[in-house]
Amino acid sequence: MAKPRSSEKRNMIFQAGLRLFAQNGYSKTTIKDISTEANVSFGTVFTYFTNKEELFHLCVTEPIDEFRNYLIEPETLENFNLGTLKEMVTKHLNFFLEKEDYLRVIQYVIGQPERFSETMEELDQFSDEFMSFIQNVVQTGMEQGVLPESNPEEVGYGYLAFLMGARLTFTDYPGVQLTNALGKQAYRLFGIGI
């Protein structure tokens, strides 16, 4: 009963699931919808995923590793200055604004933590890691005199809230323009006036 871990078709189904779960939520999305979107027959979905719940869980959790590597860059800490900070912020904002489908399902899960508790746990863990990284950034920035006196925890809270909200709040807006506008505000959260 072991499901194949990788294959062309599995990926098609996975992407289709991600897209549709993001757009319509869990219950509204049907296996039929997914199979159609993936150009795959109905039964094939069950060849690669045990059931709908597992597919959803994997759509949310599988990409976490990739994103961890992308969003948490130790180099930022090693070689810290205003330039690397701004690069980091831009990277974060772009990611949150571009990975629309993925962020949506994440927000979907976060919005119903009791319902998807198991999935939520894995997200929480990543969220903690990310927050802790940001706090490190703030700490480092303060120590090096690049950032003003701040409470690293508070900055972390605010920054994460800001990033999540950006994705949630501005669905239709053109990306680049928004990145610039929100970028300035993000710097302000770190205490940088420009």
Q: Which residues bind DNA (CB under 7 A)?
A: 4, 7, 9, 28-32, 40-44, 46-48, 51-53
| CA–CA separation, 162 and 40 (whole Å) | 39
Site string for its own copies, 19-48 (x = CB under 8 A): ----xxxxxx--------------------
148 binds its own copies (CB under 8 A): yes
SS3 65: helix
**Whole-number minimum distance, CB 75 to its own copies, in Å?**
25
Q: Out of DNA, its own copies, none, which partner does residue 30 contact, by CB within 5 to 8 A per kind?
A: DNA
Range 95-124, binding its own copies (CB under 8 A) = 104, 107-108, 110-115
- Distance, in Å, from the CA atom of 111 to the CA atom of 168, rounded to the nearest integer, reads 11
Radius of gyration of the chain (CA): 19
Contact 186, 159 (CB under 8 A): yes
Could you give the C-alpha distances from 155 to 39, 148, 160, in angstroms and in order?
45, 11, 8
Task: Tell me if 139 contacts its own copies by CB under 8 A.
Answer: no
Q: What are phi and psi of 44, to 5 degrees?
A: -60, -30
Number of residues in contact with its own copies, rule: CB under 8 A?
47
Residue 83 interacts with its own copies (CB under 8 A): yes or no:
no
Whole-angstrom distance, CA of residue 169 vs CA of residue 145: 33
Using CB under 8 A as the criterion, which residues of the chain lie in contact with its own copies when the complex forms?
A: 23-28, 104, 107-108, 110-115, 127, 148, 151, 153-155, 157-166, 168-171, 178, 181-182, 184-186, 188-189, 191-194
